[in-house]
Amino acid sequence: MFASLPSHLAAQHAPLKVALSELVRIPSVCAEEEGRYSFGAAVDQALRAALQIAGDLGFRTHYGDRGYYGYAEIGEGAEMVGVLGHLDVVPPGKLEDWERDRFDSVEADGMLYSWGTQDEKGPLLAARFASRRLGRGKLSQL
């Protein structure tokens, strides 16, 4: 599936898959009634994990306002490009309606399946990995 990709993009496949599997494992259903964190402990855990992944990729990170927001930045200059996203997921329903733990990743047919891979953890991490290339001045290599 990835044979036609340039080598620098194909090299991102495995690290992105590992990072996404780690992030979707966190059942980050919003729970605003948990007063210590803005959106609950699980969403806070997901935010901190996403910021750790960004830090590992070379981004400068900031965790703000009891987990109400966080951001990662890379590069220098007066202008920025922002990629917005969220890390909470909708409640997954009843456990008995699932064949497996919905927060464990399963790879099938070249795809990674889990709760949150498409909304929104997967796209957010894909943008993060791509942004890293942009921040290193390698736009022409994307």
- 4 within a domain of the structure (yes/no): no
Mean pLDDT on 46-69: 94
Residue 3 domain flag: no
Higher-confidence residue of 142 and 23: namely: 23
Hey, what amino acid is at 55?
G
* Assigned domain for 80 exists: no
Burial class (CB in 10 A: 0-12, 13-18, 19+), 108: exposed
**Does residue 59 belong to any structural domain of this protein?**
yes
pLDDT in tens, 75-104: 888 877 778 899 999 998 888 888 888 899
What is the model's pLDDT at position 139? 44
The answer to whether residue 78 sits within a structural domain is no
Confidence grade of residue 136 (pLDDT, cut at 50, 70, 90): low
Mean pLDDT score across all residues of the chain: 86
Domain range spanning residue 54? 12-73+96-137
- In the chain, the DSSP E strands lie at 60-64, 69-73, 106-108, 111-113
**Is pLDDT at 41 greater than 90 in this prediction?**
yes
Instruction: Establish if 44 belongs to a structural domain.
Output: yes
- CA dist list (Å): 74 to 57, 129, 134, 136: 9, 11, 9, 8
d(CA 78, CA 26): 35
Confidence of residue 140 (pLDDT cuts 50, 70, 90): very low
Can you tell me which residue has the tokens 């399946």?
Answer: 113
Domain CATH code at residue 128: 3.40.630.10
Count structural domains, the chain: 1
Flag whether 117 is in a domain. Answer: yes
